[in-house]
Structure 1
């Protein structure tokens, strides 16, 4: 039995029953025609967000930034990226959300800063600067021929090395991501205190209701920085997550962040502020429970990414070398993370889209015109009925899909996509991996981060009503057909279906939010069926993940609560149909 056992039923807290709606500011709504989304544009759409039936807005980074990684490279935690607006605009957003009964959380990005942050500018100015040790600096190594070499052979997330040479002080600095994103040294107590003041208290004092905590398990590194074992003989750089993920002091740091800062604040209506951590590369439930056990007082919940990594091969250097998968693999992932909190005081999250992944309809179902809407509705049922806190991403509620496959690679703007593409071109050209460009292009067409960052499709006017100017990213070709205005007038639309399901999730929260999960027929490659149980209440969820009719699960003695089709065929699940049955 798990050491985290508290009781057979989970304590009820507001954020467990809430639905969160993620907004990516660059792509949501432009208010001034400069082609970039902004905070005033978001403010104008708060009534729309509230109308969905969600409870919390999660705003992705809006801080001042050179935008090398779309705002995850922060140059000042206490100011806003000028094209997005001002600090005063965020204060207005807080007020507008609260007036509509919505809470607002921000992204907390404190594993690294931009190389343009004043802290880093000071750190790199000299070896004896007081902030030198706020980042990781190491001397060069030299090979037998006297050639300068980086301190370790680690591979970064963006398809390069993790160390960049600085001519001024003649040392290397560490960056797990882009060279413009140097890692902060959490070993330094002064650095941690500055993070708490500048990145956290500054915004909590303005009334926000919590944080989505970026890269939360990367703060503690093995600071002796040993070389990684060679697993790719064709490259100097090697995967090395074991040396910088879930490090020796990570739980100490997260506890301190919670105890010293977060525990001192409440939401606008007097409840505890909320945290949800981005927890990558942590595949075992016991490892995740250490972060989310209520007794540990670290994080309220985390995103575990097995479901969004489906098809990403090993998920690191071959992330975009697509690995075909079958439905039983998805079922096992869902079962694992639905059941890992049972008889514990931990909690889980439910999601299949965010700003770092392709659209779920294109990845997990079908985005061809014939099945696009049915696929979106079926996936909505899949989400709504799962236990845990539900997270939706902007545009998911109208069934937005990936960019068309005939778009060229030049339309992919993301630094990660560019890095993987350029690496593939080199490896194809030098013969180390023939055919890699074709494979990586296919993977990017399915899974690139760019797909989720296309402008929101508000209406059928130019650029989907996102902007009156030239959008920073090309609007999807199908915005005249897939947009919020059209769907708002159609009672059978994807948007109307999401609103209905979010209402049903609240109405039946005992079984949907808190119920125990039981997988049915796990090896069936066509249908996905599971039960949810809460005390004497049971629900059965049945979904057809194919474009052909499938035998329906035998739940005829139960009441049909909802189907993604307006007309149900007895004994048959229609193509990409989802249903929920209840016995109460």
Structure 2
């Protein structure tokens, strides 16, 4: 790790933008690329080094952009190729870099490749996707090739009447999986999705579903873990498959000719640290880093994830999760990430703290301090820096637009036969964990529609709290969540050896109220103290620090607090020089 401190992507602060919800420049109710470009100065002033754009490609938007019909063009409501080039150039003019989503496990069914693939069994591109013959039971009833369950529910296979075979889709039936076993398909993927954009100046990729490209060729049945379901979770089979590392090495070789390219992979269902290290070891030359899901999956139900009692988790679970992701870089040549939010998660204040009016500002600042003091590349999701929270409980189910949310709720309606208690529980689960919360439009000011759009008909409803949680008001308030994020990001860079590269040490795992950890470098020690409750809490420095002098660098509260007492949702950062 020490030998690679000069890598630009290690010390970077990355800001993720969801195009449809960031800024609408033309008043049609949908965010767009010129809208993003118009806010580059804001991002630069915040302290952002890298802009990450969620899929902006041509798409029918079944999975809100993760179903791509053309890697080489732009979804028209977002803009044009020239608009995207202006955004790339605008980032570089401000000494910022830009990365884009690389979604290559699957395409949209409307992609020309799949249209050719399903045209006939002898088409040149038939083998670019995964086609298999049906199975038949004892009664002669046609069945899918195996019992795999789609990530969004139901079978992972769809029957094609014209050619009388099934095709595989780990996500929706509108997102057929590409066949990475076919070398011609791989080369076409690299040229169309990677090199096309590298030639236009992008600086790297967030790689979607990065461990799903290699499936076992025999496609065996998944173990039956839920006997009440016809189709079973199969992530132990389709994740981390037999040729994954071969494929990633090949991808890296293609990218290497374009300079120091940043790569961060989405790595679900990979709890074993040695497995994670096999992806991000610098010596392996596959990826720079990955997103592990230890932290953001806390509080999920087992099957499905929405079958949960909100906030039914313990702080010790969060501590263990953080310790695991931080420990990845200790004594290794690997790198890690620090993040609490993204486009697939509910808002961190609502999930890990409290979004009640009396708590949400302090909670947002406390979580910001944790996020900014953990080692690895730091990722901030749009609106996180102003403390955006989940959609209100009062909003009806019709406000949930995401396919995962809709499929889940429809399944509950079907299986419960409309039972009011079951539907109420399902709604609570969605209000806590749905991906929709991250997709509510960004609030820029207290004008109608929160300054997101001049249209009253926005693609997704603007949050009711737009007049209380917005950029313009917080820029004028030194005690705001936004102002604290600016402070935290500045300190992170000033104390990089500790806060970006330092070793993590956890104290008092069993304390379910306060989270205390140290960050260590060769010369310095930092101590981070976080109160995860709405009450004042006593705390003591770990014994090894007794008698040693520490300086308070920052607190999430203004004014001096009592040395041994933390105020509600207070966070403090101390350093010993």
**Considering the TM-score relative to the shorter chain, is it more than 0.5?**
yes
Q: Distance in 1 between matches of 2:10 and 2:425?
A: 40
Please, which of 282, 290, 299 is the counterpart of residue 302 of structure 1?
290
8 Å CA contact 1:328, 1:525 repeated in 2: yes
Secondary structure of the residue aligned to 1:79 is strand
8 Å CA contact 1:529, 1:553 repeated in 2: no
Q: Distance in 2 between matches of 1:549 and 1:369?
A: 17
Give 1:204-223 correspondences, 5 Å limit.
204-223=198-217
For each residue in 1:512-541, what CA deviation from the matched residue of structure 2 results, as whole angstroms up to 9, or x when unmatched? Answer: 001111001110000000001101200000
Q: Distance in 1 between matches of 2:507 and 2:132?
A: 53
Secondary structure of the residue aligned to 2:10 is helix
CA distance change for structure 1 residues 430 and 150 in 2, over 3 Å: closer, same or farther?
Answer: farther
Shift of 1:10: 5.4
Please, which of 546, 556, 566 is the counterpart of residue 564 of structure 1?
556
Secondary structure of the residue aligned to 1:15 is coil
Residue 547 (structure 2) pairs with residue 553 (structure 1):
no
Alignment partner, residue 378 of structure 2: 390
CA distance change for structure 1 residues 435 and 245 in 2, over 3 Å: closer, same or farther?
Answer: farther
Alignment partner, residue 133 of structure 1: 127
Alignment partner, residue 433 of structure 2: 447
Alignment partner, residue 569 of structure 2: 576
Q: Which runs of 5+ in 2 are unaligned?
A: none
Q: Distance in 2 between matches of 1:155 and 1:437?
A: 23
Give 1:250-289 correspondences, 5 Å limit.
250-259=244-253, 261-266=254-259, 272-289=260-277
Q: Which runs of 5+ in 1 are unaligned?
A: 1-6, 267-271
8 Å CA contact 1:9, 1:343 repeated in 2: no
Secondary structure of the residue aligned to 1:455 is coil
Q: Distance in 1 between matches of 2:441 and 2:533?
A: 29
Q: Distance in 1 between matches of 2:360 and 2:65?
A: 31
Secondary structure of the residue aligned to 2:368 is helix
For each residue in 1:53-96, what CA deviation from the matched residue of structure 2 results, as whole angstroms up to 9, or x when unmatched? Answer: 01000000000000000100000000000000011111000110
Give 1:5-404 correspondences, 5 Å limit.
11-259=5-253, 261-266=254-259, 272-314=260-302, 317-322=303-308, 324-404=312-392
Give 1:498-517 correspondences, 5 Å limit.
498-517=485-504
Q: Distance in 2 between matches of 1:100 and 1:157?
A: 39
Shift of 1:235: 1.4
Residue 517 (structure 2) pairs with residue 525 (structure 1):
no
Q: Distance in 2 between matches of 1:553 and 1:463?
A: 46
Q: Distance in 2 between matches of 1:573 and 1:471?
A: 42
8 Å CA contact 1:212, 1:277 repeated in 2: yes
Q: Distance in 1 between matches of 2:195 and 2:167?
A: 28
Q: Distance in 2 between matches of 1:389 and 1:475?
A: 30
TM-score by length of 2: 0.97
8 Å CA contact 1:25, 1:60 repeated in 2: yes
Shift of 1:438: 3.1
Q: Distance in 2 between matches of 1:9 and 1:249?
A: 30
Alignment partner, residue 529 of structure 2: 542
For each residue in 1:350-409, what CA deviation from the matched residue of structure 2 results, as whole angstroms up to 9, or x when unmatched? Answer: 000000000000000000000110000000001111111100000000000000011111
Q: Distance in 2 between matches of 1:321 and 1:105?
A: 34
8 Å CA contact 1:20, 1:55 repeated in 2: yes
Q: Distance in 1 between matches of 2:238 and 2:421?
A: 32
Alignment partner, residue 423 of structure 2: 437
8 Å CA contact 2:213, 2:241 repeated in 1: yes
8 Å CA contact 2:236, 2:269 repeated in 1: no
Q: Distance in 1 between matches of 2:252 and 2:141?
A: 45
Q: Distance in 1 between matches of 2:246 and 2:286?
A: 9
Shift of 1:159: 1.4
Q: Distance in 2 between matches of 1:484 and 1:430?
A: 41
8 Å CA contact 1:563, 1:577 repeated in 2: yes
Please, which of 466, 475, 478 is the counterpart of residue 491 of structure 1?
478
Shift of 1:147: 1.2
Backbone CA RMSD of aligned residues: 1.3
Q: Distance in 2 between matches of 1:165 and 1:331?
A: 45
TM-score by length of 1: 0.96
CA distance change for structure 1 residues 457 and 8 in 2, over 3 Å: closer, same or farther?
Answer: closer
8 Å CA contact 1:327, 1:525 repeated in 2: yes
8 Å CA contact 1:357, 1:451 repeated in 2: yes
Secondary structure of the residue aligned to 2:118 is helix
Q: Distance in 2 between matches of 1:388 and 1:42?
A: 26
Secondary structure of the residue aligned to 1:495 is helix
Alignment partner, residue 453 of structure 2: 467
CA distance change for structure 1 residues 44 and 430 in 2, over 3 Å: closer, same or farther?
Answer: closer
8 Å CA contact 2:412, 2:418 repeated in 1: no
Q: Distance in 1 between matches of 2:170 and 2:337?
A: 26
Shift of 1:8: 6.8
